């Protein structure tokens, strides 16, 4: 069994552990050139990236496990084996990204990003250009109430927040997307954690942003394509909303000329909210469990991706 590993965050020690647990022949493809060279031999890919040329060359690959949740680039590529099964890292990002969400909200509420700017300039100015605010007792909408959304809600509980969850397939206590617009005027914060699909691109457009109250802060840790960038800039400039905290943008990287960089009511992090030491551990646990299913039954069982749904 040939296992092509393209996840660049793995160390030699990690590769040794993978080899010991799977018994597979490890093909190390940490560059696109290496991965493309080994792809025709691969029976399985443990992939940190899904370069189209690599996927097209993987004509024998029966299963690909990506450690990440987003799979839009993989689904958009041509697969050398159209019957390949794709699994993702869903379930590995709830604790880490939800903590990032709270960090962004609390930093915004207390102007910590502006205080850091002042510290760098050696300025002592207690009155910052944005008012201090409290998370306690606020109403928080969570757009995309999956693993990340549930963990956000769990961490908001000690702040006595009222949480309204929204997802494409509603369940008990979680609203459908068709109800989303009616809740927007009541939200103090909107946390966005949707994957990128044909239905989510541009979903939070200017007409919806205008429905939010002026005190609302939008936090996006899902995909930048959810919010048309020009609409977001307009909402911030016209003060339809109070601010935005973005771990994802459209495009990425954010162009240097974008006005979002210098807006005092914006916090930007470079799509790194999930990168904690625990991510690798959780992702490998999922991979090893799936490997066992794959060996025993011929296919993995955990985090199967639906091409029609896009996640």
Q: Tell me the catalytic residues.
A: 223, 252, 271
Strand partners, 26: 3
Q: How far apart are CA 85 and CA 102, in angstroms?
A: 35
**Residue 29 near residue 2 (C-beta atoms within 8 A):** no
CA 116-122-125 angle, 5° bins? 75
Query: Exposure pattern of 142-165 as b/e (b: 16+ CB <10 Å)?
Result: bbbbbbbbbbbbebbeeeebebbb
Q: Are 1 and 23 in contact (CB under 8 A)?
A: yes
Q: How far apart are CA 129 and CA 214, in angstroms?
A: 16
């Amino acid at each position: 069994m040939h296992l092509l590993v393209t996840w660049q965050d793995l160390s030699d020690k990690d590769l040794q552990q993978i080899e010991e647990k799977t018994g597979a022949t490890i093909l190390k493809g940490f560059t696109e050139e290496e991965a493309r060279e080994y792809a025709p031999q691969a029976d399985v890919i443990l992939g940190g990236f899904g370069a189209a040329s690599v996927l097209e060359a993987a004509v024998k690959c029966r299963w690909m496990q990506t450690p990440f949740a987003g799979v839009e680039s993989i689904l958009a590529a041509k697969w050398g084996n159209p019957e390949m099964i794709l699994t993702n890292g869903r379930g590995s990002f709830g604790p880490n990204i939800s903590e990032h969400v709270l960090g962004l909200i609390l930093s915004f509420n207390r102007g910590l990003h502006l205080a850091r700017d002042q510290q760098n300039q050696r300025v002592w100015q207690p009155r910052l250009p944005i008012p201090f605010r409290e998370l306690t007792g606020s109403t928080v909408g969570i757009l995309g109430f999956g693993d990340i959304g549930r963990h956000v809600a769990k961490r908001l509980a000690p702040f006595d927040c009222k949480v309204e969850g929204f997802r494409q397939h509603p369940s008990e206590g979680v609203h459908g997307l068709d109800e989303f617009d009616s809740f927007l005027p009541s939200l103090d914060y909107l946390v966005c954690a949707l994957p990128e699909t044909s239905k989510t691109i541009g979903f939070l457009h200017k007409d919806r942003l205008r429905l939010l109250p002026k005190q609302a802060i939008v936090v996006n840790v899902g995909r930048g394509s959810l919010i048309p960038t020009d609409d977001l800039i307009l909402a911030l400039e016209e003060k339809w909303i109070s601010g935005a905290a973005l771990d994802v943008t459209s495009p990425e990287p954010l162009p240097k000329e974008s006005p979002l960089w210098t807006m005092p009511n914006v916090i930007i992090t470079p799509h790194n909210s999930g990168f904690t030491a625990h991510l690798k551990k959780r992702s490998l646990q999922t991979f090893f469990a799936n490997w066992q299913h794959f060996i025993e039954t011929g296919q993995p069982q955990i985090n199967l991706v639906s091409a029609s749904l896009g996640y």
